[in-house]
C-alpha cells in the first residue's frame, strides 16, 4: 500500500510548486479506518493521513484542505483535479501505476472474509462462496472485486458498495453471505 500522487513527474513538480508558493493542498481520502477517516469538520484522521500530513509538513506546508470522497472516486478525482494528493492505503497494481505516481510502498495487507457469527454457511474462502453460488459484498474499486472474479465468482454474485461500513451492514442484514476487504478494514476495533 502507498500514498498516491499525480500521474507524472511534471504533476509532482506542480504539487511541489504549490507547496513552495504557500498554496493550500487538497488531500483526497475516503472513510477507511484505520488508514484514513474524517473527524469533526472532516479533519484528516487515521495513520495514513497522519503520515501524509507529516510528509507535507516536512515539504514545507501545513495548509491542507481535506476532501472526503468514496474510495472508488480517489483516482478519478485526482485525475480530474479535485485533489492534489490522495491517500488511504492503496494496492499498487499495474493499471493503477499507469494512472498515478505512488510513493514507495509502506505496508502489506491481506484480505479478510467477514461472515455472520458462527459462519452458518461454513465459508472459509472465495472458492466456498463460488461453489455455493452465494453473494459476496466488497467495496467498489477494491482489489477483492478482481480477486473474486479470478476464482470464478460471477459478477451478479459480487455486490459492490461504497466502503467497509456498507460491507458490514450488507452481511449483517443478510444481503450478502460474506464480505471481503482488507483485513484491517473489517476487523472490529475496540
**What CATH number is given to the structural domain containing 181?**
3.40.190.10
How many structural domains compose the chain?
A: 2
Are residue 85 and residue 27 in the same domain, yes or no?
yes
Confidence (pLDDT) at 91: 76
State how far the alpha carbon of 180 is from the alpha carbons of 23, 146, 162, 185, in Å: 39, 12, 13, 9
Are residue 48 and residue 71 in the same domain, yes or no?
yes
- Distance in angstroms (rounded) separating the CA atoms of residues 86 and 2: 10
- Distance in angstroms (rounded) separating the CA atoms of residues 51 and 35: 10
Are residue 6 and residue 68 in the same domain, yes or no?
yes
Q: How far is CA 138 from the centre of its chain?
A: 11
Given 102, 128, 152, the domain boundary residue is: 102
124 or 9, greater pLDDT: 124
Torsion from C-alpha of 185, 99, 26, 33, nearest 10 degrees: 0
pLDDT tens, residue by residue, 18-29: 999 999 999 999
Task: Give me Rg for the CA atoms of the chain.
Answer: 18
Confidence (pLDDT) at 187: 44
Confidence (pLDDT) at 8: 55
Kindly state the average pLDDT of the residues 93-99: 83
Given 102, 121, 142, the domain boundary residue is: 102
Segments forming the whole domain that contains residue 122:
111-186
Q: How confident is the model at residue 188 (pLDDT cuts 50, 70, 90)?
A: very low
- Distance in angstroms (rounded) separating the CA atoms of residues 43 and 105: 24
Kindly state the average pLDDT of the residues 4-13: 60
Given 102, 125, 146, the domain boundary residue is: 102
Enter the C-alpha cell of residue 59.
515539504
Amino acid at each position: 500500500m502507498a500514498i498516491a500522487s499525480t500521474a507524472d513527474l511534471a504533476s509532482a513538480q506542480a504539487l511541489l510548486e504549490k507547496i513552495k508558493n504557500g498554496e493550500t493542498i487538497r488531500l483526497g481520502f475516503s472513510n477507511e479506518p484505520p488508514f484514513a477517516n474524517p473527524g469533526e469538520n472532516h479533519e484528516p484522521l487515521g495513520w495514513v493521513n497522519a503520515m501524509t500530513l507529516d510528509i507535507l509538513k516536512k515539504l514545507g506546508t501545513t495548509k491542507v484542505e481535506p476532501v472526503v470522497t468514496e474510495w472508488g472516486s480517489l483516482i478519478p478525482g485526482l485525475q480530474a483535479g479535485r485533489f492534489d494528493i490522495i491517500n488511504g492505503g492503496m494496492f499498487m497494481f499495474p493499471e493503477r501505476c499507469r494512472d498515478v505516481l505512488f510513493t514507495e510502498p509502506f505496508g502489506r495487507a491481506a484480505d479478510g472474509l467477514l461472515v455472520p457469527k458462527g459462519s452458518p454457511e461454513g465459508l472459509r474462502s472465495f472458492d466456498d462462496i463460488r461453489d455455493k453460488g452465494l453473494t459476496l459484498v466488497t467495496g467498489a474499486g477494491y482489489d477483492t472485486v478482481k480477486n473474486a472474479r479470478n476464482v470464478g465468482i460471477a459478477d451478479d454474485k459480487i455486490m459492490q458498495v461504497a466502503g467497509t461500513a456498507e460491507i458490514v451492514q450488507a452481511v449483517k442484514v443478510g444481503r450478502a453471505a460474506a464480505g471481503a476487504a482488507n483485513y484491517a478494514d473489517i476487523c472490529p476495533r475496540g
